[in-house]
Amino acid sequence: MKFRRRSVLDNGINITPLIDVVFLLLIFFMVSTTFTKETHLVIDLPEATGKPAESLPDNIEILVASDGSYSVNGMALINRQPETLISALRQLEDVDKTMPLVIAADAESSHQAVVTAMDAAGRAGFIHLSITTQLPESTN
């Protein structure tokens, strides 16, 4: 006698490939994500209480005004471009690059103007750099 085979009906949905794809996407996004850690520092700046030097050595002075303009050894520059400042520092004749370079900035000048002056001094080849400060007012 010949029996007829019953056909197996698949009434369910096979979700195994779907789970595989989801896990692959999860792994991809975990590996390709950039994690950044932002930190905020609270800084208390120190105050200088030392005695000023009795005799000042020869030095080059860059003055940064409150509007961001520069002057080198008392001579004002025509604009605020870093290239102009570098050119003015390189044009100083008979200057030893190991001579101290002093940056004196107005309290109201921008931080960017001071950093630009420091960068220009470094690009001009000066290796000794200092920034002028003033003594804190006493609160007696």
pTM listed for this prediction: 0.56
62 Cβ partners below 8 Å, 6+ apart? 70, 71, 72, 85, 89, 101, 102, 103, 104, 117, 121
pLDDT tens digits, 51-74: 766 655 578 889 898 888 899 988
The DSSP bridge pattern shows strands 101-105 and 70-72 to be: unpaired
Radius of gyration of the chain (CA): 34
For the chain, which residues make up each domain, given as ranges?
60-131
| pLDDT value for 128 | 85
The domain 60-131 having CATH identifier 3.30.420.270: the answer here is yes
List of long-range contacts for 111-116, beta carbons under 8 Å, 24+ apart:
112/68, 113/64, 113/68, 113/70, 113/80, 114/64, 116/82, 116/85
